[in-house]
Structures are given as structure tokens and as C-alpha cells.
Amino acid sequence: MAEEEEETKSVQIHNWAELTQLCLVNILSHLSIEDRWRGAMFVCKSWLQACKDPNLNSVIDLEAQFIQSVAESSTRYWNREFESKIDSMVRSVVIWSDGYLNFVRVRHCSDRSIALIAERSPNLQVLSIQRCPHVTDETMSKIASGCPLLRELDISFCYQISHKSLALIGQHCPNLRILRRNLMTQVNPSQQEPFVPREYVDTCPQDGDSEAAAIGKFMPQLVQLELQFSKLTNKGLALISEGCMNLEHLDLFGCTNVTSWDIANASSNMKQLKTLKKPHLCLESQTERYGHWQLYDDRFQTDFFRI
């Protein structure tokens, strides 16, 4: 009995809540963003404070979670409630990053979070905001002036962003090398994502040549350009080929307003071109579906997540 008591006294009991901030940040850096937001933040106050450290908030990347979640798809991702949750998460990361945020890859956010990124993230280099129906030209103009180091931009399926934003981004972000401006197919309704509101699909931008003109005039440094299902014609494609002569990768899948002859003429100007994805009139399904992701659960309703 005495021996057992002696062994118990010799055992050191560690209180994880008393670890130094530096140690906690080092430990938490090995966790995924999902593990931090769904678990570590709720351990204790010191862990919560560590999760707010700028070193853990220079990147917010939710794309993998969206893609990997293959449960039942739902229109809930397109409603304001879900959008508000995404905005709250993004705004928290922006604030905690203390100006060091350099990588953002999210979906279904709005002007509310993007405006804060523009205001507080001068070091931003990658911005991917696919499927954001409430991100507008007004806020993208702020991104153009507030994030001059931008080198990669994905505004696919963002239908309130127009050629005006493309022009401003090109003028103010000389480091931009990658642009993704893919649209949803309107050629074959059966290939459309079933959970996307029909009224939103119908707002698909029709001014492909205006966007192409902005790209060709203000983004000569591009090396990768994606324009799936764009409405650009031979005129727009010619402007891109004349202005973006450093292009190495060009994706024109679903661009049915351009012909093989148009593409051959345009590609002759782009001597650096390595890969070219052609329209293909027999369109294959490019639908990318994702379903319920438990990260956005009821805990977003707590005061902590309200900005």
C-alpha cells in the first residue's frame, strides 16, 4: 500500500490549460482548421486564445471540406443563414490574423466578409470565393485597391461580379498570374447543379466579350486562365490572345460561341501555351457536388461566433 502511494506521488499530472502560448500554438498548428474550430476552441479559455494567434490564422481554406463532403446536397448552402455563418467565420479569421492573412479559399460568403478582407489583409495573395451570389463589384473594387499582392483569383459562379472588377483587379494587382472565371452551364439544363436556385442560374453573365476585353487589356501577366461556359465569342478570344501572350494554360470548356478555327487562330499568338481545354460540343457533366458539412453546426449560434 505504501509503495502504491509513493508511485502516485511520483506521477506528474500535467495541466494542459497551463501550457505557454507558444507551446499551445505549436501544438494547435498541427490540427486542421476543422479540428480547431470544432474541438480545440472549446477546451478552455487559454486554448481559445491560442486559436486566435495570428500564426494560426494566415490561411483559411475550406475548399477541401466542401469537395470531400459527399452527403446529400441541399439548397441550404444558398440561403442567407448559411452565408452568415461563413461570413462570421471568415471575419473572425481576418481579425485574428492581424494583417497577416495571405490565403483565402471559401464559398458562399458575401460582401460583409470580403470587405473586411480588403480592409485588413494587405498581404493577401490567394482569393478563391466560388459560388458567392452576394459578392459585388463594389467590394471587389476594394479588394483591388487593398490587396495589391494578389496572385491568384477565383470568382467562378459569382454573378454580381462583372468586367468592371476584372479591369480594376488587373490595374491594381500586377502580380496576378491565375484567374478562374468559370460559369454554370446553360447549354444542357440536366447538367446543372440541382440544388442551385433556378433564379440564380438565370442571372449568368452574358457579356463574355466585355470580360475578355478587360482580361486582355489589364492582365497581360496571366499564365493560367479558366473561362468555362463563358459567353465570349471570337472577338473576345482574339483580345485575350493579343493581350495575354504569356498564357500557359487556357480552359475554354463549354465556350460554345467559339469555333475550332477561332481557337486555332488565337492559340497561334500564345507561344507559351502548354495546355488548351477546348469547348467540346458534346458536353460532359462538370457538376461538382458537396453535401452537409458538420463544421457549420449550432455552435455558430453562440455569442463567440458573432462579430
Q: Is the pLDDT of residue 42 over 60?
A: yes
Rounded Cα distance between 20 and 159, Å, is 47
Average pLDDT over residues 6-11: 50
Confidence of residue 124 (pLDDT cuts 50, 70, 90): very high
Confidence of residue 31 (pLDDT cuts 50, 70, 90): confident
Average pLDDT over residues 146-166: 97
Strand partners, 60: 104
CB 57 within 8 A of CB 101: yes
Q: Which grid coordinates belong to 231?
A: 459567353
Which run of H or of E encompasses 106? strand 103-107
Q: Is the pLDDT of residue 127 over 60?
A: yes
Q: Is the pLDDT of residue 291 over 70?
A: no
| pLDDT score at 301 | 38
Mean pLDDT, the chain, whole residue set: 83
Confidence of residue 281 (pLDDT cuts 50, 70, 90): low
Rounded Cα distance between 137 and 142, Å, is 9
Rounded Cα distance between 158 and 97, Å, is 26
Q: Which grid coordinates belong to 12?
A: 506528474
Rounded Cα distance between 17 and 299, Å, is 22
